[in-house]
Structure 1
Amino acid sequence: MKKLCENVLLLFFGLFTIGFSFAQEGNQPEKNPFEQFQDLNNADEQLNYFFNSQNLYRETSTYDWLDLVTIRYLNPAKQDEDTENIEKYRLIQSKIFYDLGDYDKSLAISKDLYAVKDSLNIYIKSKLLDLMDDNYGQLKMYPQQIDVRKEKRELGITDNVAFYDIYSNLGLHRTAMNDYIAKVKKTLEESDFYAQAEYYNAVGDFLRLDESVPTALSNYKKAKGFIDVFLSDITRKKTEKATQDALFLKGIIDGNIGKTHLQLKQYEEAIPYLESAIKELKENGIARSATSENITENSLAISECYLQLNDYANATDYLSDNLQASTTENILHKNRLLALYYDKTGDYKNETLYLRKNIRIQDSISENESELRKQQLATVMGQEMELSKALLADQKIALEKSRSDILEKDRSINLVRISLLFTLLGFAGLVYAYLKSIKNQRLIAEQKYIIENSLVEKDSLLKEIHHRVKNNLQMVSSLLSLQTKNTRSKAAIEALEEGKSRVKAMALIHQKLYQNEDLSVIEMQSYIESLINSVQSVYKKGGHNINITIDAEGVELDIDRAIPFGLMLNELVSNSFKYAFPDDDENGKIYIHIRKNGENEGYFEYSDNGIGLPEDSEERAKSSMGIRLMNRLANQLQTTLNIDRSSDDGVRYWFNFK
C-alpha cells in the first residue's frame, strides 16, 4: 500500500513537471522578425523570409537590419568567395537601401547584380527586376523603367506591360486613366472587394490630379465602401498581411477623400479624414517606402485646412520643422503654406521669403525638367508604339496561320465538292463568302478601335495644352499679386488688380475648356457664375450684397467669342462693383442675359440699378481704358456696344452679335 502511494505521488509529480514545462514554453514571448531572420538556416530561407514578411522594421530600425545583413552575412560570404550567397545578401541589402529612401545606392547595387543576371534563378531575377522597376520610378528614369518591364514580360514574370503610372508621372493623367481602365477593369471580379477598392482609388487619383475633383471624390467614396466591406466581412478568412494591407489602403483612401474635400474648400469635412489617414498610415505603413511622403502630404493638407479656418495653433502643430518633405510637390506645398501663414499673421518679410523660394524652385523645374520631360514622353510613346507593333506582328502571324488553316479547309472542301451535287457547290460558295464577310467585319472593327483611340489621345493632348495655358495665366496673376504688395501707388495697385482680373477671366476660359468633354465650346451659364465669383474675390469691399441674375442657360460659345465676352463681362461687373453702389445698397441688382437667335446670331444685355452714368460719361469714355477695351472687344465680335442713358437709375448695355 505504501509502495502504491509512492508510485502515485511520483506519477503526479511527473505530470506536474511536464505540465509546468509546457506552460513555460507557452509563456515564452514570440520572437520578432529580426530574431526570426537570424534563426533561419541558410541564405535562401532568409531571402524568401525578408521579401515576404510584414512589419520588418516595427521593432528594429532599418539601419540595424542593414548592419546585420552587411556585417554578419555579406562580409563573411565575400571572405569565403561564396558567389551565390553574396548575390542573395546583396539583393537584400539593395532592398534595405530602397526602404531607407536611398534609391541611387539601391539602384547601383541592383545594376551590379543585373550584370550577372544569367547566373540568377528566376525567383531572384524577378525580385531584382521588381526592385529596379521601383527604383527607376522613384528616380523618374522612365525609359529605363520601360526596358525593365519589357524584360519582365519576355521572361514570363508578367503577362502585360502597363504604362499608365508612367503617363501619370509625366502629367498625362487622362491618358493614364484611360489606359488603366482598359487594362484593369476587365480583370475585376465583383466579389473581390479589395481589388475593387484599389481600382476606384486609382481612378480617383487620376481624376484628382486632372482637377476633376467632384468626380474624383465620388470614386474615392466607392473605394472606401469596398474596403470597409472587405474589412468587416467575417465570413472570409484573411491573413495578417491581407488585413494590414487593407488597413494601409484604407489610410490612403481616407487621405485622398480629405484632400478632395480640401480642394473643394470643405475644410471642416476634410480634417477628420486626414487625421484618420495619418493614424492608419503610421500604424500599418511599416516597411513601405511611400508611407513617409503620404503622411507628409496629409499633414500639409490638415495644416492648410486649419489655416483657411484661421486656427493658427493647430495649423502650426502640423506645419512644424519636424515635417520632412522630400518630393518637389511637398516642398512647394510646405513653402506655400508657410507664406500663407505669415501673410495671415502680418509677417510679410517671411511671406516674401517663402514665395521667392517657390519661384526659384519652379524656375529650376521649368528650366531643367521641361525639356527632359518632353524627351521622356517621346521615349515612352515610342516604346509603346514598338510594343504595339510587336503585338500587331504577333496578330499578323496568327492571322496568317488562320488564313493557312482556312485555305487548307478550302482544299478539303474542293475535294468533297467534286462528289457533291451542284446545289452543294452553291451552298459551299455561300459559306465561303460568309467567312470572308466576318473577316472583313473584324478588320473594320479593329480599324475603328485604332481611330477611336487616336481621337481620345488627341482630346487628352488638347486638354493638356489648355491646362498648361491656364497654369501659365495663373502664374501671371500670382506675379501681379506679388507686384501689388510691393507697390505703394494706389493708381498702380488698381491698374495691377484690373490686369489680374482680366488675366483670371482668360484663365477661366481655358480651365472650362479642359474640364469639358467637348473642347470646342464653353457653356456660358457656369462660366459667368465662376467669373463673377472671381471678380467678387478681387473687390472684397463690394459686390456681396448685390442680387445677381444670370440668364444664359443652354448658351454655348466657341473660344473666339467666349474670350471677348469674358473680358467684356469682367469690365462691366467690375465697374458695377466699384461705382454703381457706393452706399453698399442691399437692394442692388445686376442682370446678365445672353440668348441665341439662331445657329450663328445672338443677343447680349447687361444692366444694373445703381447710380447710373455721370453727366460727363461721354468725355470720360474717350480716356477710360475700360470703355475703350469694351469697344475693341465688341469690334472683335463684329458688333457695336450700345449704352442706354435714358433711365435715371442704373445703366444698360446691349448688342447683337454673330
Structure 2
Amino acid sequence: MGRYVILFTSVFFIFFYAASGQDLAFDEESKLKEFQDTDLPSQRFDVFFNSLDRYNVNSAYDWLDTIKIYLSNAQKTEDTTATRLYKVMQAQVYNDLGEYDKSTALAKELYDIKDSLDTDSKKVILDVLDDNYANLQLYDKQIEIRKQKRELGITNNVSFYDIYSNLGLYRKARNQYIMEVKPTIADNDSYGLAKYHSKVGNYLRLDDSAPTALSELKKANHYLGVYMNDITAQKSASDMFESELLKAEIEGNIAKCHVMMGNYEDAVPLLQSSIETLTKSPYNKDKTEVVDNTLFLAEANLQMERFSEAKKHLDTEFDNISVLQTIKKNSLLAAFYDKVENFKNASIYYKRNERIKDSLAKKQSALIKQQLVTIVANEDLENSQRLIDEQKKINELARSEMKAKDERINLVFISLIFTLLGFAGLVYAYLKSIKNQRLIAEQKHIIENSLVEKDSLLKEIHHRVKNNLQMVSSLLSLQTKNTRSKAAIVALEEGKSRVKAMALIHQKLYQNDDLSVIEMQGYIESLINSVQSVYKKGGHNISITIDAEGTELDIDRAIPFGLILNELVSNSFKYAFPENDENGKIYIHLRKNGDQGYFEYTDNGIGLPEDSDERAHSSMGLRLINRLVNQLQSKLNVDRDQEGVRFWFNFS
C-alpha cells in the first residue's frame, strides 16, 4: 500500500511541476510585451516587480533599453512621478546586471528625495542600496540603510549576521543567526527548518568544522525532503522552484564537506548535480555558488588524480569571480601543475597568489577594523542613548540640589563664607580630576593603539610562519617526487605531516581574535582532516570521537599536543587496522581545569606488539612522542590490558 502512495505522490508532482512550468513559460514570454502594452507608469512598475523572472526570455539589457526610452519620454513631458518610477526600475536593472556603482549612484539620487516616493518605491531603493553596499563591501553604509528600513517600518529590527559572514567572522555570524532566527521558526515549519539548518551548516563549513557542518546539512536535507513530499501543503510554482534551488545548494555544501574530509568519491556526483541545477535554473541569481561548486569539483578530481577532468573544470570561464575564489583557483592550478610536474607553471600561479594575498591583506586590514567598529557602535547605539538619558537625569537632580543648597547658604553670612571656600576646593579638585582623566584617556588611547599594532604584527608573524611552513611542506613534496627509496618517501611524508601540524597552529592563531590561546576542539578536527588527506586509502571509515570542547591551550602547549596527536593518529591509520577499518574507533579526550590537565588517546585496533618497549627506542615516532610529553613536564603512560591501545598522561 505504501508503494502505491509514493507512486501516486510522484505522478502528482510530475504533472503539477510540468503544468506549472508550461503556464509560467507562457506568462514569462509575454512579460516585456505586457510591460510595453500597459498604459500607465504605475502599472508598468507593477508588471516589472511582480514578474517571477522578467529575464527568462528577454535579457536585462532589453529591459534596460526599453525603460530608458520611457524614462526619456517622461523627462521630456516633465512627468516627475513617472520619471521617479522609471529610475527606480533602472536602478534595479543595474543591480541585477552587477553594475553596482551605476545602480548606487542612481539609487542615492532617489534616496535624497525619498520623502516624495511611495512606500513600494522606497522599499525597492533601500533594498537595492542594501545589496549594492554589500557587494561593494561598504558595510557601514549598509548598516545605515538598514536603520532607515527600521525607521520607515519596512523591517522591525536590524540584523548583522550576514555582514559578519562577509567579513569572515563565521562563528559570530552563526551565533547571531541562531539567536535571532531560531525562535521565529515553528516546529512544524519544515521548509523554514531546512533553510535554518542549511545556513547554520554552511557557517560551520566556512569555519572549517566540516564534520559538524555535515550533520547540520543532513538535517536540512531531511526537513526539505519532508516539505517537498508533503502533498497536504499547497505549493505554488515559485515555491517548487525555490525548493529545488535550496536542495541544490544543500547538496553542494554537503559535497564540499566531503571534499574537506577527503571523501572525494562521495562528493563528485553531488557537486555535478548541484552545478547542473544551479546553472540551468533561470531563477538562480546567486552565481557565486556555481563558481564555488566548480572549484571544489576540480579539487576532488585533482585529489583522485583525474587530471584531465580537473583541468577541464579549472579552465571554465566565469562571468563574476571573487578575489577569494580567484586565490583558490590559482592554488588548484598550481597544485595541478605540481602533480603533472610542470613546476614552471606551478611557480607562476603560486606567485600570483602571493601577490593577491599581500595586496588583499593591506587593503582589507584597515577596512575590516573600520567596519567592525561601525557595527559594534550601531549595536550599542540604543544602550548608549539610554545611558546618556539616565546621566542627564542624574545631572539635573544634582543641579537642583546644588541650587537648593545655595539658597540655604544665603541665610547665614558665615555659612556662605565656609561654603564658598568649600566650593573653591571642590572646583580645584574637579579641575584637577578633569586634567587627570584627560591624561588617563590619552595614555589609554596610546596603549590601545599599541595593542592593536602589536596584534596586527603578531597575526602577520603567524601568517608568515604558516606560509613558510607550507613552503617547507611543498619542498618536501617535491623531494618526495624525486626520491625512489620507499623508506625515504615514508620519512618525507611523515615530516611533511608534522610540518602541517605546526603550520595549522599558526593558521589558527592568526585567524583567532585572541592570539594567546588556541581552541583545541576545532584545531583537532582540522588536524585529523589534514592527516586523512595524507593517508588517502585509510582512515575514512574510522569513527573518531573528539572530546575537547571548551579547552584552550597556549602555543607552548598546543604545538607539542599537535605533534603528539599527529603521530598517534598517523600510527592508528597505518598500523591499528591492517585488515579492515569498518568498525575502527578512535577516542580523543583533552581537558584542562586551572593548572591541571589530562590527555587520553585510545583506539580499538590490534594494539601494540609485545616488543613495543624495544621498538620505542628505535621508532622515531614513539621517541618523538616521549620527548614531547617530557617537554610538557609529564610522563607517557601506555595501557595494553584492554582491546587496542590507550595512551594517557597528566600535564600542568
TM-score normalised to the size of structure 1? 0.66
Q: Secondary structure of the equivalent of 1:101?
A: coil
Counterparts of 1:574 and 1:152, CA distance in 2 = 53
- CA deviations 1:509-556 (Å, max 9, x no partner) are 5788999xxx978879995x9869867978x89x999xxxx9x99998
Gap change, CA 1:190 and 1:63, over 3 Å in 2:
same
Q: Which residue of 1 aligns with 2:468?
A: 476
For residue 45 of structure 1, report the CA deviation from its aligned partner: 1.4
For residue 234 of structure 1, report the CA deviation from its aligned partner: 2.5
For residue 147 of structure 1, report the CA deviation from its aligned partner: 0.2
* Corresponding residue to 2:48 among 47, 50, 59: 50
- On the 8 A contact 2:150/2:158 being kept in 1, the answer is yes
Number of aligned residues: 522
Q: Which residue of 1 aligns with 2:219?
A: 222
Q: Secondary structure of the equivalent of 1:76?
A: helix
- On the 8 A contact 2:547/2:588 being kept in 1, the answer is no
- On the 8 A contact 2:194/2:220 being kept in 1, the answer is yes
Write the mapping of 1:343-362 to structure 2, written as runs, cut at 5 A.
Answer: 343-362=338-357
- CA deviations 1:88-135 (Å, max 9, x no partner) are 111111111111111111111111111211211121111110110011
Counterparts of 1:525 and 1:212, CA distance in 2 = 7
Counterparts of 1:181 and 1:530, CA distance in 2 = 24
For residue 77 of structure 1, report the CA deviation from its aligned partner: 1.2
Q: Please state if 1:559 is matched with 2:551.
A: no
For residue 29 of structure 1, report the CA deviation from its aligned partner: 6.6
Gap change, CA 1:655 and 1:210, over 3 Å in 2:
closer
Q: Please state if 1:319 is matched with 2:314.
A: yes
Counterparts of 1:471 and 1:78, CA distance in 2 = 56
Q: Which amino acid in structure 1 is aligned with residue 502 of structure 2?
A: M
Q: Which amino acid in structure 2 is aligned with residue 279 of structure 1?
A: E
Q: Which residue of 1 aligns with 2:486?
A: none
Counterparts of 2:598 and 2:548, CA distance in 1 = 13
Q: Which amino acid in structure 2 is aligned with residue 56 of structure 1?
A: R
Q: Which amino acid in structure 2 is aligned with residue 248 of structure 1?
A: L
Q: Which amino acid in structure 1 is aligned with residue 189 of structure 2?
A: D
Gap change, CA 1:521 and 1:102, over 3 Å in 2:
closer
Q: Which residue of 2 aligns with 1:301?
A: 296
For residue 137 of structure 1, report the CA deviation from its aligned partner: 0.7
- On the 8 A contact 1:297/1:330 being kept in 2, the answer is yes
Gap change, CA 1:496 and 1:119, over 3 Å in 2:
farther
Q: Which residue of 2 aligns with 1:114?
A: 111
Counterparts of 2:323 and 2:196, CA distance in 1 = 27
For residue 155 of structure 1, report the CA deviation from its aligned partner: 0.7
Write the mapping of 1:281-296 to structure 2, written as runs, cut at 5 A.
Answer: 281-286=278-283, 288-290=284-286, 292-296=287-291
Q: Which amino acid in structure 2 is aligned with residue 73 of structure 1?
A: Y
Q: Please state if 1:274 is matched with 2:274.
A: no
- CA deviations 1:355-406 (Å, max 9, x no partner) are 1111111111111111111111111111111144457899999xxxxxxxxx
Write the mapping of 1:174-323 to structure 2, written as runs, cut at 5 A.
Answer: 174-286=171-283, 288-290=284-286, 292-323=287-318
For residue 575 of structure 1, report the CA deviation from its aligned partner: 14
Gap change, CA 1:41 and 1:363, over 3 Å in 2:
same
Counterparts of 1:564 and 1:502, CA distance in 2 = 10
Q: Which residue of 1 aligns with 2:502?
A: 506
- CA deviations 1:307-348 (Å, max 9, x no partner) are 112222322332224244521121112112211221222211
Q: Which amino acid in structure 2 is aligned with residue 330 of structure 1?
A: Q
Q: Which amino acid in structure 2 is aligned with residue 357 of structure 1?
A: R
Counterparts of 1:567 and 1:225, CA distance in 2 = 36
Q: Please state if 1:376 is matched with 2:371.
A: yes
- On the 8 A contact 1:258/1:273 being kept in 2, the answer is yes
Q: Which residue of 1 aligns with 2:141?
A: 144
Q: Which residue of 2 aligns with 1:21?
A: none
Q: Please state if 1:333 is matched with 2:325.
A: no
For residue 596 of structure 1, report the CA deviation from its aligned partner: 11
Gap change, CA 1:223 and 1:563, over 3 Å in 2:
closer
* Corresponding residue to 1:38 among 27, 36, 39: 36
Counterparts of 2:276 and 2:467, CA distance in 1 = 36
Q: Secondary structure of the equivalent of 2:67?
A: helix
Counterparts of 2:226 and 2:570, CA distance in 1 = 55
Q: Which amino acid in structure 2 is aligned with residue 475 of structure 1?
A: N
TM-score normalised to the size of structure 2? 0.67
Gap change, CA 1:255 and 1:67, over 3 Å in 2:
same
Counterparts of 1:371 and 1:326, CA distance in 2 = 23
Gap change, CA 1:144 and 1:554, over 3 Å in 2:
closer
- On the 8 A contact 2:298/2:309 being kept in 1, the answer is yes
Gap change, CA 1:387 and 1:269, over 3 Å in 2:
farther
Q: Secondary structure of the equivalent of 2:321?
A: coil
Counterparts of 2:268 and 2:135, CA distance in 1 = 29
Gap change, CA 1:38 and 1:557, over 3 Å in 2:
closer
Counterparts of 1:509 and 1:256, CA distance in 2 = 26
* Corresponding residue to 2:64 among 63, 66, 69: 66
Q: Which amino acid in structure 2 is aligned with residue 283 of structure 1?
A: K
Counterparts of 2:522 and 2:118, CA distance in 1 = 64
- On the 8 A contact 2:34/2:47 being kept in 1, the answer is no
- On the 8 A contact 1:505/1:566 being kept in 2, the answer is no
- On the 8 A contact 2:334/2:349 being kept in 1, the answer is yes
For residue 630 of structure 1, report the CA deviation from its aligned partner: 8.9
Q: Which residue of 2 aligns with 1:433?
A: none
Gap change, CA 1:340 and 1:132, over 3 Å in 2:
same
- On the 8 A contact 2:502/2:559 being kept in 1, the answer is no
- On the 8 A contact 2:41/2:82 being kept in 1, the answer is yes
For residue 33 of structure 1, report the CA deviation from its aligned partner: 1.6
Cα RMSD for the two superposed structures:
5.1
Moved more, 198-207 or 123-132: 198-207
% identical aligned pairs: 38
- CA deviations 1:136-163 (Å, max 9, x no partner) are 1111100000000001100111111111
Counterparts of 2:599 and 2:201, CA distance in 1 = 41
Counterparts of 1:161 and 1:508, CA distance in 2 = 36
Gap change, CA 1:164 and 1:484, over 3 Å in 2:
same
Q: Secondary structure of the equivalent of 2:53?
A: coil
Q: Which residue of 1 aligns with 2:80?
A: 83
Q: Secondary structure of the equivalent of 1:165?
A: helix
For residue 482 of structure 1, report the CA deviation from its aligned partner: 4.8
Q: Please state if 1:173 is matched with 2:170.
A: yes
- On the 8 A contact 1:502/1:570 being kept in 2, the answer is no
Gap change, CA 1:391 and 1:224, over 3 Å in 2:
farther
Gap change, CA 1:393 and 1:35, over 3 Å in 2:
farther
- On the 8 A contact 1:100/1:289 being kept in 2, the answer is no
The gaps in structure 2 that reach 5 residues or longer are 1-22, 393-455, 484-488, 580-586, 602-607, 638-646
Q: Which residue of 1 aligns with 2:640?
A: none
Write the mapping of 1:8-19 to structure 2, written as runs, cut at 5 A.
Answer: none
Q: Which amino acid in structure 2 is aligned with residue 52 of structure 1?
A: N
Q: Which amino acid in structure 2 is aligned with residue 366 of structure 1?
A: A
Q: Which residue of 2 aligns with 1:621?
A: none
- CA deviations 1:53-96 (Å, max 9, x no partner) are 112111111111111111x3111112212211111111111111
- CA deviations 1:178-231 (Å, max 9, x no partner) are 211121111112333222222111111211111121221222222222223323
Q: Secondary structure of the equivalent of 1:136?
A: helix
Q: Which amino acid in structure 2 is aligned with residue 506 of structure 1?
A: M
Write the mapping of 1:576-615 to structure 2, written as runs, cut at 5 A.
Answer: 600=596, 608=612
Gap change, CA 1:336 and 1:637, over 3 Å in 2:
closer
- On the 8 A contact 2:598/2:648 being kept in 1, the answer is no
Gap change, CA 1:396 and 1:129, over 3 Å in 2:
farther
